[in-house]
Structures are given as C-alpha cells and as structure tokens.
Structure 1
Amino acid sequence: MPVVTVPVAMRWSDMDAYGHVNNTDFMRYTEQARIEALALVKSGPDTGTLVVRHEVEYRVPLEYHRDGVLVDIWVTRIGGAGFDLAYEVATTHAGERVVHAVSASTMVMYSFSRATPRRIEPAERELLESLSGPPVQFRRPSR
C-alpha cells in the first residue's frame, strides 16, 4: 500500500493534566501530515483543499516523545470534487511500532475566488491515485 510517512514534532505542552497527549493535538498532527503529503495537490494560488469531515479513534494513550510521532497518510476514495484520507498516528518503542490513533478525513477541492468546491483535475487525480489504499478499519463502525 502506498503510504506517505510524515514525522511530526511534539511539544511538551501537548500533554494534558492526565499526562497524555490531548485529543486536539492529534488533529494538529494529522493536519501537519496532510499539509506536507498533499503539497503537490494544488493547481494554483486560488485553490486548496478543505476538511469537510473528520473521524478519529484513539487506541493507545500517547505521552510526550522527543522523537515526535510518525503519521502515515494515504488516500482511500477519490470522487469528482472530493476524496478521503486515512491516517495512523504512531510511535516506535524498542523497534516496535505502536499505533496511538487512526483517523479519516473527507476533503474537498475548493476555489477560493468562487467560494465553491471544484472538480479534481487530471494531474491531481493521478497524484491521489498514486497514494491509494484501503479505508481505515475503525473498531466501531461509523453511524
């Protein structure tokens, strides 16, 4: 499966009063990975991608790590104007990978000057297809 792995730095302040990373920081980690992984999926200065839906499932509590986290990101669906992304937020301990959260986002290509979604262009589709993989397997299915 084609995956982009993006290392994301952590901050000491990402931890909450319980000593583990706050749920909102997981969204920051996936956002950073998404920005880096999709930097080439943009046709011009007027266009971009917007998140229209996001789902996350926490698996193992995450504490601060100097090495940060690794966020794997891949594409699970491509439509006319939108696409879905999957993520795994993980760390490595003694050579063993620990997945702390899985997540999925629905994205839409957007024209800022027209303030409307726009179709995915052929070059963008080709790049997205090169990152295509299976959907996230959440433990509890979406409603």
Structure 2
Amino acid sequence: MSLRARMILLAAEGLQNKEIAERLGVDRMQVARWRKRYLEQRLAGIERDLPRGAPPVKVDVAKRLLDFGIHAPTIYFPQLVPECLLIEPTETESKATLDRFVAVMAQIRQEALQQPELLREAPHHLPVGRLDGALAARKLDVAAPPG
C-alpha cells in the first residue's frame, strides 16, 4: 500500500503518470489505474488490491486484435474518453472485412468476460509478445543489430 500512496502523493505534486512510473519503477498503466481508483473512492480505493480478474483494458484488446491479423487501433487518443479505441475503417474496406472485424470484437468481448487472462497475455501468435513498456521507455534502444 505504501507504493500506491507514493503514487498518489507524486500525482498531487503535479507529476504525470509517466514520470511517476519511471521514479517508482512500475508500469504507467498501473499508475493510471491507482490514480483513477483514488479519484473515485479516495483512500478506500488504494487500500484494497485490485480484484482478481480485473477487467481487461484497451491495451489488452488492441494486443488481442493482433492475434486475428487485425492492425491494432489507436489507443492513446482521444484522451478525453478513458479506455477509448479509435477505430477508423476507410471507405475502401469491404462489408465482409467490417463484418469480420465486428465478429472478432464480439469474440474478444466474450473472452474478456470468460477468460480475461487470455487478453492480458496477448498477443499469442506473433514472434514478439508484450514488451515491458516502462522498461522500454527508460532504456530506449532503437539501433538495428549489426549484420
């Protein structure tokens, strides 16, 4: 609980989630979740652990779409709407493609309700799984391997 309290105190000092995550060595999404709970429930919100099987978040849905061969949508815009996925099919998409997308989203919804860990651990069928976002932000390595 002391880590959660430090997150809230740093937020009260005006630090952004990214800065708090870097200082405390945690994921930015974890900071965002605890700040949200604090805003909604005050101290009671940070006293208890998140319930097991907490609902998947937008990043989980976007990562799961990759398993179906669907490009992940924009998830960090607009910031006015929490947990927003920005879906922008072009007019060149066929009805069959849109119907498949709707079917995949319906399947992901069912998975979120029945097997949330399936979403939290996605993608499953790609050469690279999830990266540690906090570590990647601190140790940026964009150089191509020699060869």
Question: Which TM-score band applies after superposition, normalised by the shorter structure?
Answer: under 0.3
What's the TM-score, normalizing by structure 1?
0.25
Q: Which has the higher contact order (CA 8 A, sep 6+)?
A: 1
Normalising by structure 2, what TM-score?
0.24
When Rg is computed on C-alpha atoms for both structures, the one with the higher figure is 2
Indicate the structure with greater strand content: 1
Structure with the larger helix share: 2
